[in-house]
Amino acid sequence: MINIGVLASGRGSNFQSIIDSIKSGALNARVACLITDNPEAYAIERAKSHNIPHVYVNPADFTGKDMFYRRIADELKVCGVELVALAGFMRVVKKPLIEAFPMRIMNIHPALLPSFKGLHAQRQALEYGVKIAGCTVHFVDEGVDTGPIILQEAVPVLSNDSEDSLSERILTCEHRIYPLAIRLYAEGKLKVIGNTVKIEE
Ligand code: GAR
């Protein structure tokens, strides 16, 4: 069983999908702690209702981003975390955290990378006019949404889609592929070769 640390800034529905996958027995893992950068994050309520320890780390308490991420890395290590899952964590992760967990930080992004990196990916997809959108789980490196891709799932973009309706369709896929990617990691089936990830049978 692996210890997961989750970082979230808001609603935390992806965090919930990880919790649900563990509860159902599909994912042999334990969420050792939730870390948020937002004291109002609904993810905190989810942690409380499942007895998951949660820590709020206030970026304003630190002189620079490196210190902020060093603190987060320290909190995760204290909890015995082996894999970090970014679940709607709306910040670019910096070196001290990445170096503390090399190729052991995953992120879920609401677009088919390498298209539509950064914020408001679903809006970017609508504005570009693509007909297929989707989501990506990837390992985190020092770029923004550039790390090795683990899993992706596609959805159609419908002609009457709003940002909300497209986001909702993509979210359903997020909740499927994020716990699955974590499970593949936990089972030792992910091999990172350069910028690609091979999934072993
Ligand atoms: C999700 O759609 C996630 O993919 C996205 O934020 C949402 C968080 O929802 N993440 C990013 O855009 C990261 N750049 P949630 O809090 O309900 O999991």
Residue 54 falls in the annotated catalytic set: no
Per the structure block, which two tokens stand in for 5?
């640390």
Q: Which residues, judged by CB distance below 6 Å to any ligand atom, belong to the binding site of ligand 1? A: 8, 10-14, 87-88, 108-110, 121, 171, 174
- Tell me, in angstroms, the distance from the centre of ligand 1 to residue 197's CA: 22
Locate the domains of the chain by residue range. Answer: 1-102, 108-201
Specify the pLDDT at position 3: 98
pLDDT of residue 172: 98
Check for a shared fold between 1-102 and 108-201.
yes
- pLDDT for res 201: 85
**CA distances in angstroms from 24 to 20, 69, 153, 166, listed in the order given:** 6, 32, 22, 27
Q: Which CATH superfamily is domain 1-102 in?
A: Formyl transferase, N-terminal domain (3.40.50.170)
Cα separation, 50 vs 13, whole angstroms: 14
Whole-number pLDDT of residue 33: 98
Torsion of Cα atoms, 154 then 111 then 50 then 25, to 10°: 30
Residues of the chain with pLDDT under 50: none
Topology of domain 108-201 in CATH is Rossmann fold (3.40.50)
Contacts of 163 (CB under 8 A, 6+ apart): 120, 122, 123, 126
pLDDT (0 to 100) of residue 185: 98
Query: Measured at the alpha carbon of residue 77, what is the angle toward residues 99 and 139, in degrees to the nearest 5?
Result: 45
